[in-house]
Amino acid sequence: ETEYLVADKTVDCASPEYLAWKFYATIMIGVYPLGIPTMYMVLLWRKRRILMDEDLRVENQSVVPISFLWKMYEPDCWWFEVFECFRRLSLTGLLIFINPGSATQVVVAMILAMVS
């Protein structure tokens, strides 16, 4: 028996096009939440010596393109945006796996918010 997408009954869930998009979506579920913070960390790590120096980080033009990642933090905390990405991910994406709608989910969210 053929299965169809609930939202659109014209989409056959066994079609090659649907399976290709399903594969792509599955890959992107891992790429986006892990890939973006990793890319941020690589960009920041390469410029960390400049970012840790208060004078250099303002004068050096090579860090201007990534200033949105470090500008709001102290020089010693140049890496903090990566931490923030993972914190936001844990508060939004990981909580869906903890008994949705339960008191446990609320308590875990509050603990994560307070600890981070």
* pLDDT over 90 (residue 48): yes
Cβ atoms 111, 103 nearer than 8 A: no
At 3, is the pLDDT very low, low, confident or very high (cuts 50, 70, 90)?
Answer: very high
Please tell me whether residue 12 adopts helix, strand or coil conformation.
strand
d(CA 43, CA 68): 12
Whether the CB-CB separation of 40 and 81 falls below 8 Å is answered with yes
> Would you state the pLDDT for residue 95?
87
Q: Is the pLDDT of residue 68 over 90?
A: yes
Residue 74: what pLDDT?
A: 95
pLDDT recorded at residue 2: 86
